[in-house]
Chain A
Amino acid sequence: MIDVKNLTKAFGDHVVLNDISEHIYPGEKVVIIGPSGGGKSTFLRCLNLLETPNAGTITFKGTDITDPKSDINKYRQKMGMVFQHFNLFPHMTIMKNLTLAPMKLLKKSKAEAEETAMELLGRVGLADRAASYPSQLSGGQKQRVAIVRALCMEPEVMLFDEPTSALDPEMVGEVLDVMKSLARDGMTMVVVTHEMGFAKEVGDRVLFMDGGVIAEQAPPAQFFADPQTERAKSFLAKVLM
Protein backbone atom coordinates (compact mmCIF):
# COMPACT_ATOMS: atom_id res chain seq x y z
CA MET A 1 0.00 0.00 0.00
CA ILE A 2 2.82 2.38 0.91
CA ASP A 3 6.13 1.64 -0.69
CA VAL A 4 9.22 3.46 0.55
CA LYS A 5 12.40 3.31 -1.51
CA ASN A 6 15.82 4.62 -0.46
CA LEU A 7 14.30 7.27 1.77
CA THR A 8 16.89 9.70 3.12
CA LYS A 9 16.22 12.71 5.29
CA ALA A 10 18.76 15.06 6.82
CA PHE A 11 18.36 18.22 8.85
CA GLY A 12 21.43 20.15 7.84
CA ASP A 13 24.37 17.81 8.33
CA HIS A 14 22.47 15.57 10.68
CA VAL A 15 21.24 12.50 8.80
CA VAL A 16 18.03 11.33 10.46
CA LEU A 17 16.94 8.69 7.97
CA ASN A 18 19.57 6.82 6.05
CA ASP A 19 18.46 5.05 2.88
CA ILE A 20 15.37 3.28 4.18
CA SER A 21 13.31 0.96 2.01
CA GLU A 22 10.16 -0.58 3.40
CA HIS A 23 6.73 -1.69 2.37
CA ILE A 24 3.47 -1.41 4.26
CA TYR A 25 0.79 -3.86 3.16
CA PRO A 26 -2.98 -3.24 3.20
CA GLY A 27 -4.51 -4.14 6.56
CA GLU A 28 -1.13 -4.43 8.22
CA LYS A 29 -0.43 -3.03 11.68
CA VAL A 30 3.16 -1.88 11.76
CA VAL A 31 4.57 -0.76 15.09
CA ILE A 32 7.74 1.31 15.09
CA ILE A 33 9.77 1.35 18.28
CA GLY A 34 13.27 2.42 19.19
CA PRO A 35 15.26 4.95 21.16
CA SER A 36 14.65 8.70 20.90
CA GLY A 37 16.42 10.34 18.02
CA GLY A 38 16.40 7.10 16.08
CA GLY A 39 14.25 8.56 13.31
CA LYS A 40 10.89 6.94 14.14
CA SER A 41 8.77 10.09 14.05
CA THR A 42 10.63 11.53 11.08
CA PHE A 43 10.02 8.30 9.16
CA LEU A 44 6.32 8.47 9.96
CA ARG A 45 6.09 12.15 9.05
CA CYS A 46 7.80 11.46 5.74
CA LEU A 47 5.03 9.01 4.82
CA ASN A 48 2.54 11.86 4.38
CA LEU A 49 5.23 14.38 3.49
CA LEU A 50 4.95 16.53 6.59
CA GLU A 51 8.70 16.20 6.27
CA THR A 52 10.07 16.42 2.76
CA PRO A 53 12.61 13.67 2.08
CA ASN A 54 15.99 14.68 0.70
CA ALA A 55 16.14 11.58 -1.47
CA GLY A 56 14.12 8.49 -2.26
CA THR A 57 10.55 7.90 -3.27
CA ILE A 58 7.32 7.14 -1.46
CA THR A 59 4.65 5.43 -3.49
CA PHE A 60 1.10 5.36 -2.20
CA LYS A 61 -1.18 2.91 -4.00
CA GLY A 62 0.91 3.09 -7.14
CA THR A 63 1.42 6.87 -7.26
CA ASP A 64 4.76 8.48 -6.50
CA ILE A 65 3.73 11.15 -3.99
CA THR A 66 7.25 12.57 -3.68
CA ASP A 67 6.95 13.78 -7.28
CA PRO A 68 6.47 17.58 -6.92
CA LYS A 69 3.74 17.40 -9.57
CA SER A 70 1.57 15.04 -7.54
CA ASP A 71 -1.24 16.66 -5.56
CA ILE A 72 -0.15 15.79 -2.03
CA ASN A 73 -3.35 17.17 -0.49
CA LYS A 74 -5.36 14.46 -2.22
CA TYR A 75 -3.19 11.66 -0.84
CA ARG A 76 -3.10 13.15 2.64
CA GLN A 77 -6.89 12.80 2.73
CA LYS A 78 -6.36 9.06 2.51
CA MET A 79 -3.72 9.02 5.25
CA GLY A 80 -5.09 10.00 8.63
CA MET A 81 -2.58 11.25 11.15
CA VAL A 82 -2.69 11.42 14.95
CA PHE A 83 -0.14 13.59 16.73
CA GLN A 84 1.55 13.30 20.08
CA HIS A 85 0.12 16.64 21.19
CA PHE A 86 -3.33 16.07 19.64
CA ASN A 87 -3.21 19.38 17.70
CA LEU A 88 -6.95 19.91 17.94
CA PHE A 89 -8.07 23.33 16.76
CA PRO A 90 -8.65 25.24 20.02
CA HIS A 91 -10.87 27.92 18.48
CA MET A 92 -13.48 25.44 17.24
CA THR A 93 -15.92 23.18 18.98
CA ILE A 94 -15.28 19.45 18.82
CA MET A 95 -17.98 19.16 16.17
CA LYS A 96 -16.36 21.83 14.02
CA ASN A 97 -12.98 20.17 14.47
CA LEU A 98 -14.49 17.01 13.06
CA THR A 99 -16.54 18.44 10.22
CA LEU A 100 -14.22 21.13 8.82
CA ALA A 101 -12.15 18.93 6.52
CA PRO A 102 -14.99 16.60 5.37
CA MET A 103 -17.12 19.60 4.43
CA LYS A 104 -14.28 21.40 2.62
CA LEU A 105 -12.67 18.41 0.94
CA LEU A 106 -15.21 15.62 0.62
CA LYS A 107 -17.88 18.20 -0.21
CA LYS A 108 -20.19 16.74 2.39
CA SER A 109 -23.18 18.75 3.52
CA LYS A 110 -23.13 19.95 7.11
CA ALA A 111 -25.79 17.42 8.07
CA GLU A 112 -23.92 14.52 6.46
CA ALA A 113 -20.60 15.50 8.02
CA GLU A 114 -22.20 15.89 11.45
CA GLU A 115 -23.94 12.55 11.18
CA THR A 116 -20.66 10.76 10.46
CA ALA A 117 -18.92 12.72 13.21
CA MET A 118 -21.61 11.91 15.78
CA GLU A 119 -21.52 8.24 14.93
CA LEU A 120 -17.74 8.06 15.30
CA LEU A 121 -17.79 10.20 18.46
CA GLY A 122 -20.33 7.79 19.90
CA ARG A 123 -18.03 4.91 19.13
CA VAL A 124 -15.24 6.45 21.23
CA GLY A 125 -17.72 7.36 23.97
CA LEU A 126 -17.66 11.13 23.53
CA ALA A 127 -20.99 11.85 21.85
CA ASP A 128 -21.94 14.19 24.68
CA ARG A 129 -18.86 16.42 24.13
CA ALA A 130 -19.66 17.52 20.56
CA ALA A 131 -20.43 21.09 21.61
CA SER A 132 -17.41 21.43 23.93
CA TYR A 133 -14.16 23.18 23.14
CA PRO A 134 -10.88 21.22 23.21
CA SER A 135 -9.73 23.13 26.32
CA GLN A 136 -12.58 21.54 28.27
CA LEU A 137 -11.46 17.99 27.55
CA SER A 138 -8.91 15.79 29.30
CA GLY A 139 -5.84 14.63 27.40
CA GLY A 140 -7.27 11.19 26.75
CA GLN A 141 -10.51 12.68 25.48
CA LYS A 142 -8.61 15.09 23.23
CA GLN A 143 -6.63 12.25 21.69
CA ARG A 144 -9.77 10.22 21.08
CA VAL A 145 -11.29 13.24 19.36
CA ALA A 146 -8.10 13.64 17.31
CA ILE A 147 -8.42 10.03 16.17
CA VAL A 148 -12.05 10.62 15.23
CA ARG A 149 -11.05 13.77 13.34
CA ALA A 150 -8.71 11.73 11.18
CA LEU A 151 -11.32 8.98 10.72
CA CYS A 152 -13.94 11.47 9.54
CA MET A 153 -11.93 11.78 6.33
CA GLU A 154 -12.43 8.05 5.73
CA PRO A 155 -8.70 7.33 5.42
CA GLU A 156 -7.19 4.10 4.16
CA VAL A 157 -4.13 4.30 6.40
CA MET A 158 -3.78 5.74 9.88
CA LEU A 159 -0.45 7.11 11.05
CA PHE A 160 0.05 7.48 14.82
CA ASP A 161 2.95 9.58 16.09
CA GLU A 162 3.45 8.60 19.75
CA PRO A 163 -0.26 9.02 20.46
CA THR A 164 -0.02 8.22 24.18
CA SER A 165 3.30 9.86 25.08
CA ALA A 166 1.78 13.15 26.22
CA LEU A 167 -0.95 11.55 28.31
CA ASP A 168 -1.27 10.98 32.04
CA PRO A 169 -0.77 7.27 32.72
CA GLU A 170 -4.39 6.62 33.64
CA MET A 171 -5.55 7.98 30.27
CA VAL A 172 -3.30 5.84 28.12
CA GLY A 173 -5.67 2.87 28.28
CA GLU A 174 -8.69 4.66 26.84
CA VAL A 175 -6.71 5.81 23.79
CA LEU A 176 -5.14 2.39 23.25
CA ASP A 177 -8.58 0.81 23.43
CA VAL A 178 -9.78 3.02 20.58
CA MET A 179 -6.70 2.10 18.57
CA LYS A 180 -7.22 -1.60 19.24
CA SER A 181 -10.82 -1.49 18.07
CA LEU A 182 -9.65 0.37 14.98
CA ALA A 183 -7.15 -2.43 14.38
CA ARG A 184 -9.87 -5.07 14.78
CA ASP A 185 -11.89 -3.28 12.10
CA GLY A 186 -9.06 -3.92 9.68
CA MET A 187 -7.54 -0.46 9.36
CA THR A 188 -4.01 -0.26 8.01
CA MET A 189 -1.97 1.32 10.79
CA VAL A 190 1.55 2.59 11.28
CA VAL A 191 2.17 3.37 14.92
CA VAL A 192 5.20 4.97 16.52
CA THR A 193 4.94 4.17 20.21
CA HIS A 194 6.65 3.31 23.45
CA GLU A 195 3.77 1.07 24.51
CA MET A 196 5.35 -2.36 24.26
CA GLY A 197 2.16 -4.06 25.40
CA PHE A 198 0.28 -2.51 22.52
CA ALA A 199 3.01 -3.55 20.09
CA LYS A 200 2.79 -7.14 21.28
CA GLU A 201 -0.97 -7.30 21.24
CA VAL A 202 -1.83 -5.46 18.04
CA GLY A 203 1.26 -5.37 15.84
CA ASP A 204 1.72 -7.64 12.86
CA ARG A 205 5.29 -6.48 12.53
CA VAL A 206 7.68 -4.51 14.70
CA LEU A 207 10.23 -2.20 13.14
CA PHE A 208 13.10 -1.36 15.47
CA MET A 209 14.66 1.92 14.35
CA ASP A 210 17.98 3.19 15.55
CA GLY A 211 20.54 5.56 14.05
CA GLY A 212 18.36 6.38 11.06
CA VAL A 213 17.94 2.83 9.84
CA ILE A 214 15.58 -0.04 10.50
CA ALA A 215 17.98 -2.05 12.60
CA GLU A 216 15.75 -5.05 12.99
CA GLN A 217 12.24 -6.17 12.14
CA ALA A 218 10.19 -9.19 13.09
CA PRO A 219 6.72 -10.23 14.22
CA PRO A 220 6.28 -8.95 17.78
CA ALA A 221 6.29 -12.36 19.47
CA GLN A 222 9.62 -13.17 17.93
CA PHE A 223 11.09 -9.69 18.38
CA PHE A 224 10.32 -9.41 22.07
CA ALA A 225 11.29 -13.00 22.86
CA ASP A 226 14.45 -13.17 20.85
CA PRO A 227 15.87 -9.89 19.54
CA GLN A 228 18.75 -10.44 17.13
CA THR A 229 20.80 -7.25 17.34
CA GLU A 230 22.76 -6.05 20.35
CA ARG A 231 21.11 -2.63 20.08
CA ALA A 232 17.60 -4.09 20.23
CA LYS A 233 18.58 -6.32 23.14
CA SER A 234 19.88 -3.44 25.23
CA PHE A 235 16.88 -1.26 24.30
CA LEU A 236 14.42 -3.94 25.34
CA ALA A 237 16.35 -4.62 28.53
CA LYS A 238 15.89 -0.96 29.45
CA VAL A 239 12.21 -0.55 28.56
CA LEU A 240 10.89 -3.92 29.72
CA MET A 241 12.83 -4.27 33.00
Chain B
Amino acid sequence: MDLSGLYETLSALPKGDLSVWQSFFLKFYQAWFANGRWQQYFKGLASTIEVTVIALAIGVVLGVIVAMVRTAYAQRRPGTHNPVLAVVDFIFKIYVTVIRGTPMMVQLLIMGFVIFSSSRNTTFVGALTLGINSGAYVSEIIRGGLMSLDPGQAEAGRSLGLGYIQTMWHIVIPQAFKTILPSLGNEFIVLLKDTSLISVIGGKEIVYFAKAIVNRTYEPMFPYIITAVMYLILVMAFSYLQSLLERRLRASDRR
Protein backbone atom coordinates (compact mmCIF):
# COMPACT_ATOMS: atom_id res chain seq x y z
CA MET B 1 0.00 0.00 0.00
CA ASP B 2 1.37 3.45 -0.86
CA LEU B 3 1.65 6.21 1.74
CA SER B 4 -1.17 8.40 0.52
CA GLY B 5 -3.50 5.39 0.41
CA LEU B 6 -2.56 4.46 3.96
CA TYR B 7 -3.13 8.08 5.02
CA GLU B 8 -6.61 8.09 3.44
CA THR B 9 -7.53 4.83 5.16
CA LEU B 10 -6.27 5.85 8.59
CA SER B 11 -7.73 9.34 8.57
CA ALA B 12 -11.13 7.85 7.78
CA LEU B 13 -11.03 5.88 11.03
CA PRO B 14 -12.25 7.48 14.28
CA LYS B 15 -9.39 9.02 16.32
CA GLY B 16 -9.93 6.75 19.33
CA ASP B 17 -9.29 3.57 17.31
CA LEU B 18 -5.76 4.53 16.21
CA SER B 19 -2.63 3.08 17.76
CA VAL B 20 0.17 5.45 18.89
CA TRP B 21 2.19 4.63 15.78
CA GLN B 22 -0.74 5.17 13.48
CA SER B 23 -1.44 8.61 14.89
CA PHE B 24 2.28 9.46 14.68
CA PHE B 25 2.16 8.47 11.04
CA LEU B 26 -0.87 10.68 10.46
CA LYS B 27 0.81 13.67 12.05
CA PHE B 28 4.03 13.14 10.18
CA TYR B 29 2.21 12.70 6.88
CA GLN B 30 0.36 15.96 7.48
CA ALA B 31 3.55 17.76 8.42
CA TRP B 32 5.66 16.45 5.53
CA PHE B 33 3.82 14.85 2.59
CA ALA B 34 0.36 16.43 2.58
CA ASN B 35 -0.06 19.10 -0.13
CA GLY B 36 3.65 18.77 -0.99
CA ARG B 37 4.55 20.50 2.28
CA TRP B 38 8.10 19.10 2.29
CA GLN B 39 8.84 21.56 -0.46
CA GLN B 40 8.05 24.36 2.00
CA TYR B 41 10.80 23.23 4.34
CA PHE B 42 13.32 23.13 1.55
CA LYS B 43 12.20 26.55 0.40
CA GLY B 44 12.77 27.73 3.97
CA LEU B 45 16.10 25.94 4.12
CA ALA B 46 17.28 27.63 0.92
CA SER B 47 16.17 30.97 2.32
CA THR B 48 17.94 30.28 5.62
CA ILE B 49 21.16 29.51 3.77
CA GLU B 50 20.75 32.63 1.67
CA VAL B 51 20.19 34.83 4.73
CA THR B 52 23.19 33.21 6.45
CA VAL B 53 25.45 33.82 3.47
CA ILE B 54 24.38 37.47 3.12
CA ALA B 55 24.73 38.08 6.86
CA LEU B 56 28.07 36.27 6.88
CA ALA B 57 29.41 38.39 4.03
CA ILE B 58 28.27 41.62 5.72
CA GLY B 59 29.59 40.42 9.07
CA VAL B 60 33.00 39.40 7.77
CA VAL B 61 33.54 42.58 5.75
CA LEU B 62 32.41 44.79 8.64
CA GLY B 63 34.36 42.71 11.15
CA VAL B 64 37.59 42.85 9.16
CA ILE B 65 37.34 46.61 8.60
CA VAL B 66 36.52 47.34 12.24
CA ALA B 67 39.24 45.01 13.51
CA MET B 68 41.88 46.48 11.18
CA VAL B 69 41.08 50.07 12.13
CA ARG B 70 40.92 49.33 15.84
CA THR B 71 44.16 47.32 15.80
CA ALA B 72 45.93 49.97 13.74
CA TYR B 73 44.78 52.60 16.21
CA ALA B 74 45.85 50.56 19.22
CA GLN B 75 49.26 49.87 17.68
CA ARG B 76 49.88 53.32 16.20
CA ARG B 77 53.34 54.79 16.46
CA PRO B 78 53.47 56.71 19.74
CA GLY B 79 53.80 60.43 19.25
CA THR B 80 52.01 60.42 15.90
CA HIS B 81 48.45 61.69 15.76
CA ASN B 82 45.96 60.75 13.10
CA PRO B 83 42.64 62.50 13.83
CA VAL B 84 40.71 60.56 11.17
CA LEU B 85 41.84 57.24 12.59
CA ALA B 86 40.99 58.39 16.11
CA VAL B 87 37.44 59.42 15.13
CA VAL B 88 36.78 56.22 13.14
CA ASP B 89 38.16 54.13 16.01
CA PHE B 90 35.80 55.91 18.40
CA ILE B 91 32.78 55.30 16.16
CA PHE B 92 33.66 51.61 15.79
CA LYS B 93 34.09 51.32 19.53
CA ILE B 94 30.56 52.64 20.04
CA TYR B 95 29.27 50.26 17.36
CA VAL B 96 30.80 47.22 19.06
CA THR B 97 29.59 48.34 22.49
CA VAL B 98 26.01 48.93 21.38
CA ILE B 99 25.70 45.73 19.34
CA ARG B 100 27.24 43.54 22.01
CA GLY B 101 25.29 45.28 24.73
CA THR B 102 21.80 44.73 23.33
CA PRO B 103 19.94 41.48 22.56
CA MET B 104 19.77 40.25 18.97
CA MET B 105 15.98 40.09 19.22
CA VAL B 106 15.69 43.74 20.25
CA GLN B 107 18.01 44.78 17.42
CA LEU B 108 15.77 42.90 14.98
CA LEU B 109 12.61 44.54 16.32
CA ILE B 110 14.17 48.02 16.07
CA MET B 111 15.51 47.42 12.55
CA GLY B 112 12.33 45.76 11.32
CA PHE B 113 9.66 47.92 12.92
CA VAL B 114 11.41 51.28 13.46
CA ILE B 115 14.24 51.92 11.02
CA PHE B 116 13.00 49.88 8.07
CA SER B 117 9.33 49.77 9.03
CA SER B 118 8.25 50.66 5.48
CA SER B 119 10.41 48.00 3.82
CA ARG B 120 8.65 45.00 2.36
CA ASN B 121 11.81 42.98 1.96
CA THR B 122 11.75 41.80 5.56
CA THR B 123 14.05 38.86 4.82
CA PHE B 124 16.78 41.19 3.62
CA VAL B 125 16.29 43.54 6.56
CA GLY B 126 16.73 40.49 8.78
CA ALA B 127 19.90 39.44 6.97
CA LEU B 128 21.26 42.99 7.22
CA THR B 129 20.57 43.14 10.96
CA LEU B 130 22.23 39.78 11.49
CA GLY B 131 25.24 40.91 9.46
CA ILE B 132 25.63 44.11 11.45
CA ASN B 133 25.31 42.10 14.65
CA SER B 134 27.79 39.48 13.56
CA GLY B 135 30.27 42.13 12.42
CA ALA B 136 30.71 43.35 15.99
CA TYR B 137 31.51 39.86 17.27
CA VAL B 138 33.71 38.98 14.30
CA SER B 139 35.67 42.20 14.74
CA GLU B 140 36.39 41.35 18.38
CA ILE B 141 37.46 37.82 17.44
CA ILE B 142 39.80 39.10 14.71
CA ARG B 143 41.12 41.89 16.91
CA GLY B 144 41.88 39.40 19.65
CA GLY B 145 43.71 37.19 17.16
CA LEU B 146 45.76 40.05 15.75
CA MET B 147 46.67 41.42 19.18
CA SER B 148 47.52 38.03 20.69
CA LEU B 149 50.20 37.16 18.15
CA ASP B 150 53.75 37.48 19.53
CA PRO B 151 54.66 41.15 18.94
CA GLY B 152 58.11 39.89 17.90
CA GLN B 153 56.61 38.67 14.63
CA ALA B 154 55.46 42.14 13.63
CA GLU B 155 58.72 43.61 14.92
CA ALA B 156 60.74 41.23 12.77
CA GLY B 157 58.73 42.30 9.73
CA ARG B 158 59.08 45.98 10.52
CA SER B 159 62.80 45.65 11.27
CA LEU B 160 63.31 44.35 7.73
CA GLY B 161 61.71 47.53 6.45
CA LEU B 162 58.28 46.14 5.60
CA GLY B 163 55.47 48.65 6.10
CA TYR B 164 52.59 48.21 8.53
CA ILE B 165 50.20 46.87 5.90
CA GLN B 166 52.79 44.56 4.29
CA THR B 167 53.67 43.19 7.72
CA MET B 168 50.00 42.64 8.50
CA TRP B 169 49.29 40.96 5.20
CA HIS B 170 52.28 38.64 4.91
CA ILE B 171 53.14 37.93 8.53
CA VAL B 172 50.45 38.75 11.08
CA ILE B 173 47.20 37.85 9.33
CA PRO B 174 48.22 34.40 8.03
CA GLN B 175 49.25 33.38 11.55
CA ALA B 176 46.34 35.06 13.30
CA PHE B 177 43.88 33.40 10.92
CA LYS B 178 44.86 29.99 12.18
CA THR B 179 44.29 30.90 15.82
CA ILE B 180 40.95 32.64 15.28
CA LEU B 181 39.47 30.00 13.00
CA PRO B 182 37.83 27.94 15.81
CA SER B 183 36.15 31.00 17.38
CA LEU B 184 35.20 32.30 13.97
CA GLY B 185 33.59 28.96 13.14
CA ASN B 186 31.72 29.12 16.42
CA GLU B 187 30.46 32.60 15.61
CA PHE B 188 29.25 31.43 12.21
CA ILE B 189 27.30 28.59 13.80
CA VAL B 190 25.66 31.08 16.18
CA LEU B 191 24.85 33.28 13.20
CA LEU B 192 23.33 30.38 11.26
CA LYS B 193 21.05 29.53 14.16
CA ASP B 194 20.20 33.17 14.85
CA THR B 195 18.65 33.41 11.38
CA SER B 196 15.65 31.65 12.98
CA LEU B 197 14.95 34.89 14.86
CA ILE B 198 14.21 36.93 11.74
CA SER B 199 10.78 35.30 11.54
CA VAL B 200 9.68 37.79 14.25
CA ILE B 201 9.86 40.62 11.73
CA GLY B 202 8.40 38.47 8.97
CA GLY B 203 11.64 37.27 7.45
CA LYS B 204 11.10 34.07 5.50
CA GLU B 205 13.26 31.12 6.52
CA ILE B 206 12.72 27.59 7.87
CA VAL B 207 10.97 28.59 11.10
CA TYR B 208 8.65 30.92 9.20
CA PHE B 209 7.44 28.09 6.95
CA ALA B 210 7.28 25.60 9.82
CA LYS B 211 5.04 28.01 11.74
CA ALA B 212 2.83 28.39 8.68
CA ILE B 213 2.41 24.62 8.49
CA VAL B 214 1.57 24.42 12.21
CA ASN B 215 -1.08 27.08 11.65
CA ARG B 216 -2.67 24.86 8.99
CA THR B 217 -2.50 21.49 10.75
CA TYR B 218 -2.61 22.50 14.43
CA GLU B 219 0.11 19.90 14.99
CA PRO B 220 3.34 21.53 16.22
CA MET B 221 5.46 18.44 16.95
CA PHE B 222 6.70 17.30 13.57
CA PRO B 223 7.15 20.66 11.85
CA TYR B 224 9.38 21.88 14.67
CA ILE B 225 11.29 18.60 15.00
CA ILE B 226 11.91 18.62 11.25
CA THR B 227 13.15 22.21 11.57
CA ALA B 228 15.50 21.23 14.36
CA VAL B 229 16.88 18.30 12.35
CA MET B 230 17.53 20.58 9.38
CA TYR B 231 19.50 23.04 11.50
CA LEU B 232 21.41 20.18 13.07
CA ILE B 233 22.39 18.78 9.67
CA LEU B 234 23.48 22.23 8.46
CA VAL B 235 25.61 22.84 11.55
CA MET B 236 27.17 19.39 11.40
CA ALA B 237 28.04 19.86 7.74
CA PHE B 238 29.56 23.23 8.52
CA SER B 239 31.57 21.87 11.46
CA TYR B 240 32.92 19.14 9.23
CA LEU B 241 34.10 21.64 6.62
CA GLN B 242 35.67 23.74 9.35
CA SER B 243 37.58 20.79 10.79
CA LEU B 244 38.89 19.95 7.31
CA LEU B 245 40.16 23.50 6.89
CA GLU B 246 41.75 23.51 10.34
CA ARG B 247 43.53 20.24 9.67
CA ARG B 248 44.88 21.61 6.41
CA LEU B 249 46.16 24.78 8.02
CA ARG B 250 47.78 22.85 10.83
CA ALA B 251 49.53 20.57 8.35
CA SER B 252 51.40 23.54 6.91
CA ASP B 253 53.42 24.26 10.03
CA ARG B 254 53.90 20.90 11.73
CA ARG B 255 55.79 18.88 9.21
Asked if B43 lies at the interface with its beta carbon under 8 angstroms from chain A, I say: no
Taken together as a complex, chains A and B put the C-alpha atoms of A68 and B80 apart, in Å, by 7
- How far, in whole Å, are A101 and B158 apart by their CA atoms in the complex? 10
Question: Smallest CB–CB gap between A155 and chain B, Å?
Answer: 9
A235 nearest CB across to chain B (Å): 27
Residues of A within 8 Å of B103, CB to CB, are none
CA gap between A87 and B160 in the complex, in Å: 12
Name the CB-closest residue of B to A84: B152
Which of A31-39, A69-77, A108-116, A208-216 is the contact stretch? A69-77
Chain A: how many interface residues by the 8 Å CB criterion? Answer: 30
A105 contacts B161, CB within 8 Å?
yes
Task: Determine which of B80, B171, B178, B253 lies in contact with A135 in the assembled complex, contact meaning CB atoms within 8 Å.
Answer: B253
Closest B residue to A78 by beta carbon equals: B161
Q: A89-B171, A136-B255 are in contact. Are A153 and B160 (CB under 8 A)?
A: yes
Measured between alpha carbons, how far is A150 from B171 in the docked complex, in Å?
Answer: 16
- CB of A143 closer than 8 Å to a CB of B: no
A149 at the interface (CB under 8 A from B): yes
Q: Which of B46-54, B60-68, B162-170, B205-213 contacts A (4 or more CB under 8 A)?
A: B162-170
For chain B, which range describes its interface: under 10, 10 to 19, 20 to 34, or 35 or more residues? 20 to 34
Q: 1/0 per position for A51-95, CB-CB distance to B under 8 A?
A: 010000000000000001000011111011101010111110000
* In contact, A89 and B162 (Cβ under 8 angstroms): no
0/1 interface trace, chain B 172-191, chain A, CB 8 Å (1 if under): 00110010000000000000
Q: Does any Cβ of B come within 8 Å of A127's Cβ?
A: no
Query: Which residue of chain A has the shortest Cβ distance to B77 in the bound complex?
Result: A52
Residue of A whose beta carbon sits closest to that of B163: A73
| A85 and B80 contact, Cβ closer than 8 Å, known pairs A76-B159, A90-B253, A149-B160 | no
> Chain A residue with minimal CB distance to B162?
A101
Interfacial chain B residues near A88, Cβ < 8 Å: 156
A48 to B158, CA, bound (A): 10
Q: Across the interface, do A133 and B160 meet the contact criterion of CB distance under 8 Å?
A: no
B39 surroundings in chain A (CB, below 8 A)? none
Write the nearest CB–CB distance from B102 to chain A, whole angstroms. Answer: 36
Contacts A77-B160, A77-B161, A100-B170 hold; do A133 and B253 have CB atoms under 8 A apart? yes
Residues of B within 8 A of A73 (CB): 158, 161-163
Please, how many angstroms separate the alpha-carbon atoms of A89 and B153 in the complex?
7
A50 CB, nearest partner CB in chain B, Å: 6
Task: Give CA–CA (A133, B157) in the complex, Å.
Answer: 17
Q: A52-B77, A91-B175 are in contact. Are A83 and B152 (CB under 8 A)?
A: yes
20 CB < 8 A contacts A-B: A50-B155, A52-B77, A52-B79, A68-B80, A73-B158, A73-B162, A76-B160, A76-B161, A83-B152, A87-B156, A88-B156, A89-B175, A90-B175, A91-B253, A101-B161, A101-B162, A104-B170, A105-B162, A136-B255, A150-B159
4 closest A-B pairs by beta carbon, nearest first, are A77-B161, A87-B156, A81-B159, A101-B160
| Residues on B facing A (Cβ under 8 Å) | 77-80, 150, 152-153, 155-163, 166, 170-171, 174-175, 178, 252-255
Q: Which residues of A contact B (CB under 8 A)?
A: 48, 50, 52, 68, 73-77, 79-81, 83, 85, 87-91, 100-101, 104-105, 133, 135-136, 146, 149-150, 153
